[in-house]
Each structure stands twice: as structure tokens, then as C-alpha cells.
Amino acid sequence: MKGLFKSKPRTPADLVRQTRDLLLYADRSTSLPDLRESKREEKMAELSRNIRDMKSILYGNSEAEPVAEACAQLTQEFFKEEILYVS
């Protein structure tokens, strides 16, 4: 029953796309001061989780070593989505 409510792990492609969208949101929200502060904080917390998850894919964590295939897919998606130009 413990794993019943766990969400499906996101693929590296999903993670990169969502991170790109959040970075674009962060860029827009600095130029639009009327956005709700609570929504901005929520999006920034989500961005922080995504960055942490990408780091875990690339470097592993205390429970698992990095998987070469996931690292390669994350890197390919990172450059395909041009994240460096967004940030």
C-alpha cells in the first residue's frame, strides 16, 4: 500500500521541457509585477525540485548510482530544448 500514491517518475525529456517552461515563466514574471506572489513562489519551488531531480539523474544519490542512458537522454534534451539560451 505504501507505493500506491506515488507519482510516476518523470522522464528526462519531461523534466527538461517542464524546466524550460518554468524558466520562461520566471523570466516573464520579473517583467509583470502584478502576478500573484504565491503563484510565483510555487513555480520557483517546482523549478528547484526539477533542478534537484536533474542533478540526481546526472550524479546519482545516496540510494542509486547514475544511469548512463538517463544521463545521455537528459543531456540531449537539455541541448535540444536550448535551456542555456533560456536561462
**The cell 519551488 sits on which residue?**
45
pLDDT surpassing 90 at residue 77: yes
Residues in the chain: 87
Residue 83: per-residue pLDDT: 83
In a domain, 4, yes or no: no
> pLDDT band at 2, cuts 50/70/90?
low
In a domain, 78, yes or no: yes
In a domain, 3, yes or no: no
Q: Mean per-residue pLDDT for 63-79?
A: 93
- Specify the number of domains making up the chain: 1
Give the model confidence (pLDDT) of 9-65 as tens digits.
789 999 999 999 999 888 877 666 666 778 888 999 999 999 999 999 999 989 989
**The cell 506572489 sits on which residue?**
37
CA distance 2 to 4: 6
In a domain, 42, yes or no: yes
- Give the structural domain span for 22: 10-86
